[in-house]
Structures are given as C-alpha cells and as structure tokens.
Amino acid sequence: MTPILEVRGLRVRYGAIEAVKGISMTVGQAEIVTLIGGNGAGKTTTLKTISSVLRPAAGEIVFEGERTDRLPSHEVVRRGICQAPEGRRIFPRMTVRDNLEMGAYARRDPDGIGSDFERVFALFPVLRQRLRQQGGTLSGGEQQMLAIGRALMARPKLLLLDEPSMGLAPMMVDRIFEVVREINAQGTPILLVEQNAQVALQTAQRGYVLESGTVVLEDEAAALLGNDQVRKSYLGTD
C-alpha cells in the first residue's frame, strides 16, 4: 500500500545551522509512527517542515502522492495535514468553543463541523463542560485535550502530535495516549513526536530514532523497545 506521507532526503536549515540532515521516512495509511530522540535531534523541526511552517533546504515531502513542501501552511491544512503543536499553543483568552471553531476555519460544511464537535466531546467529555471557559483557565491536561481537539476539528487525514505528554501528570499522560490510540483506531494515521520514548513506542507501530538531524535507527516499535541502544539511550535501562 502506498504511504500517505513520504519524506525524502529532507534537509532543513536555520541560517548556517543544518538542523535536519537528509532524513527519509514514511507514514502508512493506518499507522501511528513515532519519532524519538534527544533535545535538538530535529524532531519538532521535521514536523514544522511537514506542516510548511518551515521551508526545506532540500528534499521532498509527498502527501497522498503529491508534493506539499512548496505549499503555504494553510494549503497544507486544507490538504489534510493538521498539527497539535508542542506547548499546546491554544488561544488562552478565547473560549473552548472558539478554540475548537478555529480548528475548522478552512471548512465549509457546517453539518460536518457539528458532527466533529460531537466526536471531540466523545473523546474529551470535559471539553463539553468547559465550552464557555477561557482556554487559559484550563489545566495543563485539559489544554492538551483542547489542542488535540482543535486539530481534529480540521478533520485531518494525517494528525501530527508534538510532545503531547509534556508537563502532564502520569495519569493524564495515560489518558492522552488512550485517546491517541482511539483516534488512530477511528482511521486517522498519526505522526507522533514524544520525549517519553517508552510510551511513544508502546503506542506506535513503527518508529524512527533521530540523532543530530539524522535517522540512526528505524524499525517496528516493539523491536525498538527491545533494542539495546534505544534502551540505554532513551529508556533509561541497561
């Protein structure tokens, strides 16, 4: 089966510094694929480039068989790539409802938007209770739910998640990743960047390990969990 996303020889620079150095990867039609690695490995830069927030210096990004690396970010969203960014980046002075509606700004199907509100509330019931509350008054876990819900309101064909567990209590991390698996089971492929390598590899089907902007390992997630190098460097075990 043709992958929904192909990244080919991607290079990304910040001025003279090359942050991503020729990586290639794929995401299948029904997969959760994770990128793991230390700080500065190029994980977030890769997601931002797939979203067209950053422009590649070289390489190609192909989504559903068509190149998207030359498109503006709003057009990438319209094509179906949507991201819940690192740090949540909700609109703190807007209500939960308004934040969710912002996720659907490019859509012109009010009936479909209504049904996706219900989908988000089924995944995150607390958001229904907080509809009139300002986003900035939510707890960290609730803000993460809102960030994911906002991305889902765009009805993504591919969901990019950047550090969804950041700053959350263990119980909330478990809940967020239950929902990640549920979103995938509903048919949405996911590209996941996550500092918690253990939970990322337990959630994904495949993974790529990045170091200094290059892919140093790629395998099935279960195999990476058992890999000595991964266990020592990222899982804190021998």
Please give the average per-residue pLDDT across 91-98, as a whole number.
92
| Band of pLDDT at residue 232, cut at 50, 70 and 90 | confident
Q: What is the pLDDT of residue 237?
A: 63
Identify the domain boundary among 150, 176, 203.
150
Within this chain, do residues 105 and 166 fall inside the same structural domain, yes or no? no
pLDDT tens digit sequence for 53-73: 999 999 999 999 999 999 999
Within this chain, do residues 163 and 210 fall inside the same structural domain, yes or no? yes
Within this chain, do residues 26 and 74 fall inside the same structural domain, yes or no? yes
Q: How many domains does the chain have?
A: 2
Within this chain, do residues 110 and 206 fall inside the same structural domain, yes or no? no
How many whole angstroms separate alpha carbon 36 and alpha carbon 193? Answer: 6
Q: What is the pLDDT of residue 86?
A: 78
Within this chain, do residues 141 and 161 fall inside the same structural domain, yes or no? no
Within this chain, do residues 174 and 220 fall inside the same structural domain, yes or no? yes
pTM listed for this prediction: 0.92
Within this chain, do residues 100 and 185 fall inside the same structural domain, yes or no? no
Within this chain, do residues 165 and 220 fall inside the same structural domain, yes or no? yes
Lowest mean pLDDT among 6-10, 105-109, 215-219: 105-109
Torsion angle in degrees (nearest 10) through CA of 161, 166, 169, 171: 20
| Band of pLDDT at residue 171, cut at 50, 70 and 90 | confident
Q: Which domain holds residue 112?
A: 89-150
Cβ neighbours for 149, distance < 8 A, ≥ 6 positions apart: 100, 103, 120, 123, 124, 127
How many whole angstroms separate alpha carbon 103 and alpha carbon 120? Answer: 12
Within this chain, do residues 12 and 68 fall inside the same structural domain, yes or no? yes
Within this chain, do residues 172 and 69 fall inside the same structural domain, yes or no? yes
- Work out the mean pLDDT of the chain and round it to a whole number: 92
Q: What CATH number corresponds to the domain at position 53?
A: 3.40.50.300
